[in-house]
Structure 1
Amino acid sequence: MPMPHSNRSVPRQLKPELESEFARSPALGYEAPDEAGFVRCLSHGFPTPLARWHYHDEYELHLITKTSGKVFVGDWIGQFQPGHLVLTGPRLPHNWLSIDTPDGGVPFRDLAIQFDHEPLMQSAALIHELAELGPLLERARNGIEFFGMGESTEQQWHRIKQATGLRRLTAFFDLMCDLAACTDYRLLSSVQLQSDDDDASIDQIHALVSRITDNLSEHHSAAAIAAELGMSESRFSRFFRKATGNTFTDFVNRVRISRACQLLMDTDQQISLICYEVGFNNVANFNRRFLESKGMTPSEFRKQSLTRFRGAA
Structure 2
Amino acid sequence: MSTKAPLAPRQLKPELEREFARSTALGYESADEAGFVRCLSHGYPTPLARWHYHDEYELHLITATSGKVFVGDWIGPFQPGQLVLTGPRLPHNWVTMDLPEGGVANRDLVIQFFHEPLARASETIPELSEVLPLLERAKHGIEFFGLSDAAEAHWHKVKQSHGLRRFTAFCDFLGDLAACTDYRLLSSVQLQSDDDDASLDQIDAVLNRITDQLAEPHSAAGLAAELGMSESRFSRFFRRATGNTFTDFVNRVRISRACQLLMDTDQQVTHICYEVGFNNVANFNRRFLEIKGMTPTDFRRQSLTRFRGSS
Instruction: State the Cα deviation string for residues 54-104 of structure 1 (Å, max 9, x = none).
Output: 000000000000000000000000000000000000000000000111111
Aligned match of 1:304 in 287, 302, 305?
302
Matched-pair contact (CA < 8 Å) for 1:10–1:306: no
Aligned match of 1:184 in 166, 182, 185?
182
Determine the structure 2 residue equivalent to 1:293. 291
- Count of residue pairs brought into register by the alignment: 305
Instruction: State the Cα deviation string for residues 33-64 of structure 1 (Å, max 9, x = none).
Output: 11111110010000000000000000000000
Tell me how far apart the structure 2 counterparts of residues 10 and 261 of structure 1 sit (CA, whole Å): 24
Instruction: State the Cα deviation string for residues 204-251 of structure 1 (Å, max 9, x = none).
Output: 212211110110011110011111111111111111111111111100
SS in structure 2 at match of 1:126: coil
Alignment of 1:1-313 (within 5 A): 12-312=10-310
Letter of the structure 2 residue corresponding to residue 90 of structure 1:
P
Return the offset for 1:190: 3.3
Unaligned stretches of 5+ residues in structure 1:
1-8
Matched-pair contact (CA < 8 Å) for 1:30–1:41: yes
Identity %: 78
Tell me how far apart the structure 2 counterparts of residues 287 and 172 of structure 1 sit (CA, whole Å): 44
Determine the structure 1 residue equivalent to 2:3. none
Tell me how far apart the structure 1 counterparts of residues 167 and 136 of structure 2 sit (CA, whole Å): 21
Tell me how far apart the structure 2 counterparts of residues 27 and 199 of structure 1 sit (CA, whole Å): 49
Matched-pair contact (CA < 8 Å) for 2:51–2:310: no
Tell me how far apart the structure 1 counterparts of residues 35 and 13 of structure 2 sit (CA, whole Å): 29
Determine the structure 1 residue equivalent to 2:4. none
Tell me how far apart the structure 2 counterparts of residues 226 and 170 of structure 1 sit (CA, whole Å): 48
Unaligned stretches of 5+ residues in structure 2:
1-6
Letter of the structure 1 residue corresponding to residue 134 of structure 2:
L
Return the offset for 1:10: 8.7
SS in structure 1 at match of 2:131: helix
Q: Please tell me the root mean square deviation across aligned C-alpha atoms, in Å.
A: 1.2
Determine the structure 2 residue equivalent to 1:3. none
Return the offset for 1:11: 5.2
SS in structure 1 at match of 2:289: helix
Instruction: State the Cα deviation string for residues 152-193 of structure 1 (Å, max 9, x = none).
Output: 100100000000111111111111111011111000023111
Which portions of structure 1, spanning 4 or more consecutive aligned residues, are displaced by more than 2 angstroms? 9-13
Distance 1:261 1:10, change over 3 A: farther
Matched-pair contact (CA < 8 Å) for 2:43–2:105: yes
